[in-house]
Amino acid sequence: MAQVTLKGSPVEVTGQLPQIGQQAPAFSLVAGDLSDVSLASLAGKRKVLNIFPSVDTPTCATSVRAFNASASKLSNTVVLCISTDLPFAQARFCGAEGLENVVNLSTMRGADFLANYGVAIASGPLVGVAARAVVVLDENDKVLHSELVGEIADEPNYDAAMAVLK
């Protein structure tokens, strides 16, 4: 079990974040049209998994905007913004912001993703949602970059995540 903080207060996170060099665990999450999207369905593409609690918080919204801007410059790469938000909330946010370079995915039918990716918040006021993390995968789903952000209210290290894709 890992520990991060939320505005300085300790928060326990279950599971283990995939580490550099490991094969990413399979997953199935829910897209904006309520279809299931699996890791296998994205085969052959590089993937940035931007994992966070909710698009309705300032830091999460900032990370989606930042990765949206970065994604437009990358070839053969998809940015997956993964949260426990329902697809309707994700679509509302991206529509209002004009964000078109990311794919929103919800854990609404894929709660096992939280534990399998080591981001399941197990204590504190956010129990049941994802901790903030970034996992970058190559075309074969091998982990190139992995970061569990130590303070949930902080942004991830965008430069480190993007550097492995250049």
Give tens-digit pLDDT for 93-119: 766 666 677 788 999 998 899 999 999
Predicted model pTM: 0.91
- Which pLDDT score is estimated for 35? 95
d(C-alpha 155, C-alpha 133), whole Å: 9
Where helices occur in the chain by DSSP H, the ranges are 58-71, 87-97, 112-116, 158-163
Respond yes or no: is residue 94 known to be catalytic.
no
Mean pLDDT of the chain: 89
Percent of the chain with pLDDT strictly greater than 70: 93
Catalytic residue, chosen from 30, 49, 60, 133, is 60
Give tens-digit pLDDT for 114-163: 999 999 999 999 999 999 999 999 999 999 999 999 999 998 998 899 89
Q: Do 165 and 144 form a contact (C-beta atoms < 8 A)?
A: yes
Domain 2-164, CATH number (from 3.30.60.50, 3.40.50.360, 3.30.230.30, 3.40.30.10): 3.40.30.10
